[in-house]
Amino acid sequence: MLNILKKTNIPFLCFLFFAFLLFNLDSITNHTMTLIKKDPPILIEPTNNYVKTDQFIFVKSTENFVPLSKQDLKNIFYTIVNNGWDQFTFYCPSEYTNCLNDVKDLSQDQDLLTHLNNFVHPYNGFSNVKTIISEAGDVTVSITYFYNDEEIQKINAKVDEIYNNIITDNMDTQTKILTIHDYIINNTKYDVERNNDGTSIYHSYTAYGPLLEGYATCNGYTDAMALFLIKMGIPNFKVARTPDNTTNTEGHVWNAVYLNNTWLHLDLTWDDPVSTDGKDYLQHKYFLITTSQLREVDQGEITVTEHNFKENIYIELKENESN
């Protein structure tokens, strides 16, 4: 008898269930659409120890990871790198109709990514950026960084050692910068081999080369100087001249330094010239000079074209030129 009742109640219960669904279809559908349309959560990881808090004109750190413009996207990419995140996912909102196309363009613009890289701490500088875009509009950015933990530990120990040995409390800021500038140049040779054929036994393209091996290319000189500037609490960024496959076929990078309310150029590579007589030379032609002074020095006995930088990116230096 009990089994008969159960079998009789099943169709009746099913009828009640479907009647309930039919009666409440609109409200259930609306609730489901609300869940679908709800903004997906964005996981914010802690920053690492090398995040820079300096504010720049071209790009800025952001806490808003819902982009509505190309500038928002640049700020998000910069923030990911500046914070030292290995991976980060954000999404394109429906109101930003061209967002996914702009993300694709930005992720493939190696020149722009290189310039963004110049505003972060050297240890947060990347060697590769991989961007994956899902059909749902999620954007996952994965970063591979230049420096590993072992290199950072050795470089930091060397920076502390050098600083404690040659810098004294009675020095003013400019003297401290000059002392570091001269030390790096006097203890470093330009890595001609890497410059000529792209290979070398030295890590000359990072701060490890000049500080621990005694060899550097422009990247190594610039990163090493940046580490000391950061240690001294001096605002700075790197300036890059990128190749354009025409008359400008070689890249170059140097330091921009904020001192006495002015942004100045500092180029250790050109102050450590490669000589034909085999002697080591120390110069100060490119030591803390304004943009107008940089142009004058570049038009000396030998015309230098390596300092042609994009003024729409390194805007602080352009404003300095007009002052």
pLDDT tens for the chain, 323 residues long, are 434 433 444 343 333 333 433 344 344 333 333 333 445 678 888 999 999 999 899 999 999 999 999 999 999 999 999 999 999 999 999 999 999 999 999 999 999 999 999 999 999 999 999 999 988 889 999 999 999 999 999 999 999 999 999 999 999 999 999 999 999 999 999 999 888 888 899 999 999 999 999 999 999 999 999 999 999 999 999 999 876 655 555 789 999 999 999 999 999 999 998 866 667 889 999 999 999 999 999 997 788 889 999 999 999 998 654 44
Is 60 contained in some domain? Answer: no
pLDDT value, residue 301: 78
Whether residues 132 and 253 fall in one domain = no
Q: HSE on the CB side for 58, CA within 13 Å?
A: 22
Whether the model pTM is above 0.75: yes
Domain boundary among 100, 125, 145: 145
Whether residues 99 and 222 fall in one domain = no
Range of the domain at 81: 70-145
What CA–CA distance (Å, rounded) separates 168 from 156?
Answer: 19
**Residue 132 Cα distances to 112, 123, 174, angstroms:** 18, 24, 45
Question: Edge-to-edge strand order for the sheet containing 138-145?
Answer: 87-91, 138-145, 126-133
Domain boundary among 145, 163, 185: 145
Domain count, the chain: 2
CATH number at residue 105: 3.30.1370
Whether residues 229 and 125 fall in one domain = no
Find where tokens 């991989």 sit: 130
Q: What pairs with residue 253 in β-bridges?
A: 240
Whether residues 175 and 252 fall in one domain = yes
pLDDT value, residue 57: 96
What CA–CA distance (Å, rounded) separates 111 from 165?
Answer: 39
Whether residues 282 and 265 fall in one domain = yes
